[in-house]
A = this chain, B = another copy of it.
Amino acid sequence: MSLKELIFKTRSHRRFDETYRIDAKTIESLIDLARLSPSGANRQPLKYIYYNSVSDCEKVFPYLAWAGYLTDWPGPDKGERPTAYIIILGDRSVSDIFGVDHGIAAQSIMLGTTEAGLGGCIIGSIKREELGNELSIPDNLEILLILAIGKTVENVIVEEVKNNDVKYWRDNDKNHHVPKRSLAELIIKTK
């Protein structure tokens, strides 16, 4: 698969086959992709905690917000929830600043999920303090992003932005539509 195909297939997926479990080895190989990715001044201040058991995934789920634009959808129902979570943490004992390291790491991992036949979603809307308490995350580790992963059952359709409306939406057949701006809109020509 070319990189463009891989990136094109790496959409945000929010509904999964919850019977499909993901083993630790697969998850650690995904984190290894982040490990080998760039880090500002090569500081490498990111740490990772992952969960893949049924009971641990149930602990994480309530602290996440899902798909802000789908206002009548509170998130995946039981049976369609993620079967693994990777929490990307910033280790303050290593650095006070994390720059965009976690964005770089998240993209490497999400591309890896696609290559592994999985899918997922980068989640930034997190009840951080409550989740940190629930999971007893050490104080020096700041929750930056959570990657929700599973065997996707969602069909995602990329389409062009119309009328400057970037809100994703779901049709009656549960297809998830994602409007993307055109390349012509993104590239600024000076002079």
- Which residues of A line the B interface, CB within 8 A? 2-4, 6-8, 10, 12, 28-29, 31-38, 40-44, 46-50, 68-69, 89, 99-104, 106-108, 110-112, 115, 122, 124, 135-138, 141, 145, 158, 161, 166-168, 178-181, 183, 186-191
Q: Are B122 and A187 in contact (CB under 8 A)?
A: no
Secondary structure at chain A's binding surface: helix, strand, loop or mixed?
mixed
Q: Are B190 and A37 in contact (CB under 8 A)?
A: no
Complexed CA–CA distance, A59 and B144 (Å): 36
Q: Are A181 and B44 in contact (CB under 8 A)?
A: yes
Most buried by B among A34, A137, A181, A186: A186
Q: Which residues of B contact A4 (CB under 8 A)?
A: 29, 32-33, 36, 112
Q: How far is the CB of A187 from chain B (nearest CB, A)?
A: 5
Residue of B nearest to A189 (CB): B49
